[in-house]
Amino acid sequence: MLLQAVFLLLLHCLASTLGHYELCKSLVSTDEGPVWEQYACQPKTASMKDHMRIKVDPPGITCGNPPERFCTLENPYLCSDECDASNPDLAHPPQLMQDKERTGLLTYWQTVTWRSHPEPLLANISMSWNKSLELSDDILVTFEYGRPTIMVLDKSMDHGRSWHPYQYYADDCMDAFNMQPKLVADLSPANITRVICTEQYSRWVGSKNDKNVKFEVRARFSVFAGPRLQNMDSLYTRMESMKGLRDFFTFTNLRMRLLRPALGGTYVQRDNLLKYFYAISNIEVPARCKCNLHSSQCLLLDGNLQCQCEHNTTGQDCQRCKKSFKAKSWKAGSYLPTPNGHPQLLHTSWFPLRFQ
């Protein structure tokens, strides 16, 4: 009996120290004996690039079919590099954007060169997961041979039926999109979900100095949680009270629209179009499954991510009640009260229905 009490106490302490919604429930001892205490819970963050389905458009945008030569902005007169889709050593297919880079060997997707100038060189990269996800850190896209001078990141929350711009990127926001250039640092708590155009990741700094284009999640979180995200409770409290905040970080699909490649800090030089193209070596998407705070685990089942629902809920996102429970009492869990939150399901309305 004493041993059991100690065990229960231990479990309870574990729940409190884990914090941040890692446990959905724990057994606690009461005068009437052990009972389950239920908490809001969410899965751990993961590298979602491993589960992403990737598609590039238009057909034929990937280089190498037929084989073609290209050069680089830094070495424009040595056009001896070759892309050849039929040779594994010289091919640059889309899956190289999501492979694990072995040290010393960079692999990347690469497009055809801008031979069609003055027609724009356009490419879309669509990423889908067939699962609602929530960003937990910055999206990081790594470009080889220079970052695009104009691009848009879009997102969908309904599996690609509708799309919304997420962030605009240009070396001149006014010129490209008729938008004032902004930094996430310019945003206040009240307008943190504003869609901005940034010039931070599009200007020419040499192709090796900065290869990354970011969608800043950390900087947006830190507006509420402090510069080192030391006060996540404050962020989670805002997630509950501020309309649209959680949705802002939620997506099922992402799309990059590449609208103009790197130009090397100058105008397009028509006498050498073989140095203009896009090349991406990595796309990092740190996120967690959205389970409406009713699951602490998200598993890959038959190739699809799926929340392992608790609290008598079910569905891909734990977005409804289990069959034998009254459907109208479903609610998403709440981060409040911190640090363990609440499943938000009212016990009184949770008597199982009996079907005859």
# residues contacting ligand NAG (CB under 6 A):
26
How far is residue 97's CA from residue 283's CA, in Å, rounded to a whole number?
Answer: 6
Residue 164, strand partner residues? 155
Q: Which of 223/239 has CB closer to ligand NAG? A: 223
Q: For the CB of residue 179, give the shortest distance to ligand NAG in the complex, in Å.
A: 9
The answer, yes or no, to whether the previous bond of 34 is cis (omega within 30 of 0) is no
Q: Tell me the window of 67-75, 171-179, 212-220, 340-348 that interacts with ligand NAG (CB under 6 A).
A: 340-348
How far, rounded to the nearest angstrom, does the alpha carbon of residue 169 sit from its chain's CA centroid? Answer: 17
Burial of 210 by CB count in 10 Å (0-12 exposed, 13-18 middle, 19+ buried)?
Answer: middle
Q: Tell me the window of 7-15, 138-146, 166-174, 309-317 that interacts with ligand NAG (CB under 6 A).
A: 309-317
Q: For the CB of residue 127, give the shortest distance to ligand NAG in the complex, in Å.
A: 13
Q: Restricting to residues 186-225, which ones interact with ligand NAG according to CB under 6 A? A: 186-188, 190-191, 194, 196
Among 224, 311, 317, 330, binds ligand NAG (CB under 6 A): 311
350 binds ligand NAG (CB under 6 A): yes
- Cβ atoms of 280 and 262 closer than 8 Å: no
How far is residue 166's CA from residue 57's CA, in Å, rounded to a whole number?
Answer: 19
Site string for ligand NAG, 145-184 (x = CB under 6 A): -------------------------------------x--
354 binds ligand NAG (CB under 6 A): no
72 binds ligand NAG (CB under 6 A): no
What is the rounded (10 degree) CA torsion for 83, 87, 92, 94? 140
Q: Measured at the alpha carbon of residue 22, what is the angle toward residues 19 and 25, in degrees to the nearest 5?
A: 95
Neighbours of 266 (CB within 10 A): 8
66 binds ligand NAG (CB under 6 A): no
Q: Which of 131/207 has CB closer to ligand NAG? A: 131
How far, rounded to the nearest angstrom, does the alpha carbon of residue 172 sit from its chain's CA centroid? Answer: 25
User: Which residues contribute to the site for ligand NAG (CB under 6 A)?
Assistant: 38, 57-58, 122-124, 130, 182, 186-188, 190-191, 194, 196, 257, 304, 306, 311-312, 316, 343, 345, 347, 350, 352
